[in-house]
Amino acid sequence: MFVTRNTLKAIKEYFFSSLKNKYEKMELESLYLITAEEILNLNRTEIRLDKGVKLLESELLKFNSVIKGLKKDIPIQQLFGKAPFYEREFVIDENVLIPRQETEELIQLIVEKNKIDSPRILDIGTGSGAIAISLNLEINNSKVYALDVSEKALDIAKKNKELLNGKVEFLKLDILKESSSKFTEKLDLIVSNPPYVLNSEKELMLSNVLDYEPHLALFVEDANPLIFYKKIVDFALINLVEEGILYFEINEKYGEEVAGLMQNNFNKIEIIKDLNGKDRFVFGTLSS
C-alpha cells in the first residue's frame, strides 16, 4: 500500500509529498482540502482540526486515484465530475469547459443590469449550461434557450438543468453553419462566451487546460479570431427585439474589435474589465 497508516495526517503528508513538485503550496492546500472534503464528507474545519480522523481502505484508494490524476494534470473538477459556479454545483466532464470565474462575473453583470420583466434569453455555445441555467435561476420568470453544436455538451447541460431545477430549452445548432433566421422566437437578451483563445496562445496554456478541456470550446484560428462574434452579431440583428441587449465574454485582446463589430447597429456599447483588470466583456443595446 502507498501509505502504511490510515490516519488523515499520514495521507495529508503523502498527498503533499507526491504533488509538491507539480503544484505550488497554496494550490496544493486547496486541492487537498477539496479532495478531503469530497472523499471524507467532512467540512473544511473538521479537516483542518483533524481530531484523529481515520480513513477506510476505500477512502485511501480514492485518495490514491486522485493523486494519480493530479500527477497527470487532470483538472480536479474532472476528477470529481463537478465544478462550482455562481454558488451552485454543475456536473462537468471532458466534453465541456470547466466554468470560469470570469463567467461568474458575467452572470453578475447581467443580473444587475437586467430591468426587463420575464426576459427571453438565449445563450449561444452553452457547454455545461452554466450561463443559461444560472440566468434562469437568478432572473425571475426568465424564458431561457441555449444552443450548442456538441451533442455531448448538451447531454451534460440537460443533466445540470434537471439537477438544479432550471427551465431551459436546449437546441443543437451550429451557429457558424445554420441560418440566423432558423430561430423563430424574438429575444430580449443574447449572451455568449464563444471559443476565443487563439491557436497561437496554446503554448501559453497549462497542460491541465490544454490536454483535458475541449478544444472545440476554446480555440479559434489566428486568421479569423472573431469568427463567432461576427456570426453572433448578425444573428442578434435578426433575433433581438429593438433595445435588446447582446452580452459577450471576450479574449482580452479584442475589446475594441468586438465593439467595432457592433458599432453600426448597437448603442450603449461598453467594454468591461474582469476582476483581473483585463478587458473581458462587451455589451451593447440594439438600436431602434
Residue closer to ligand GLN (CB basis): 39 or 173: 173
Determine if 225 is a binding residue for ligand GLN (CB under 6 A).
Answer: no
Tell me whether residue 25 is exposed, middle or buried, using C-beta atoms within 10 angstroms of its C-beta: 0 to 12, 13 to 18, 19 or more.
exposed
Strand 82-85 and strand 88-91: the pairing is antiparallel
Comparing CB distances to ligand GLN, the nearer of 59 and 123 is 123
Which 79-108 residues touch ligand GLN, going by CB under 6 A?
100, 102
Q: Give whichever of 59 and 105 is closer to ligand GLN, judged by the CB atom.
A: 105
CB of 110 to ligand GLN, least distance (A): 16
Query: Contact between 209 and ligand GLN (CB under 6 A)?
Result: yes
Number of residues engaging ligand GLN in binding (CB under 6 A): 9
**CB of 52 or CB of 277, closer to ligand GLN:** 277
Please identify, using beta-carbon distances, which residue of 38 and 252 lies nearer to ligand GLN: 252
CB of 201 to ligand GLN, least distance (A): 9
Report in angstroms how near the CB of residue 150 gets to ligand GLN at its nearest: 14
The residue (of 40 and 250) whose beta carbon lies closer to ligand GLN is 250
Q: Report the nearest approach of ligand GLN to the CB of residue 95 (Å).
A: 15
DSSP characters for 138-205? Answer: HSTT-EEEEEES-HHHHHHHHHHHHHHT--EEEEE--TTTS-GGG--S-EEEEEE----EEGGGGGGS
- What does the alpha-carbon distance between residue 179 and residue 177 come to, in Å, rounded to a whole number? 7
Q: Which residues are registered as beta bridge partners of 270?
A: 283
Task: Name residues whose C-beta falls within 8 Å of residue 81's C-beta, 6 or more positions apart in sequence.
Answer: 91, 92, 93
In sequence order, the 6+-apart residues with CB closer than 8 A to the CB of 144 are 120, 121, 122, 123, 132, 133, 135, 136, 166, 167, 168, 169
User: Is there a contact between 179 and 41 (Cβ–Cβ < 8 Å)?
Assistant: no
* Footprint of ligand GLN on 148-207 (CB under 6 A): 193-197
63 binds ligand GLN (CB under 6 A): no
Least distance from ligand GLN to the Cβ atom of residue 251, Å: 7
- Nearest residue (CB) to ligand GLN, 14 versus 228: 228
- Is 218 near ligand GLN (CB under 6 A)? yes
Minimum Å distance from CB 124 to ligand GLN?
A: 11
**CB of 221 closer than 8 Å to CB of 215:** no
What residues between 13 and 32 interact with ligand GLN by CB under 6 A? none
Q: Please enumerate in sequence order all residues whose Cβ is within 8 A of that of 137, keeping only pairs 6 or more positions apart, or say none.
A: 88, 164, 165, 166
Minimum gap (Å) between residue 279 Cβ and ligand GLN? 13
Give buried/exposed letters for 74-91 (b at 16+ CB in 10 A, else e).
bbbbbbbebbebbebebb
CB nearer to ligand GLN: pick between 187 and 217: 217
The distance from CA 14 to its chain's CA centroid, rounded to whole angstroms, is: 31
Minimum CB separation from ligand GLN for residue 197, in Å?
Answer: 5
Chain residues in the site for ligand GLN (CB under 6 A): 100, 102, 193-197, 209, 218
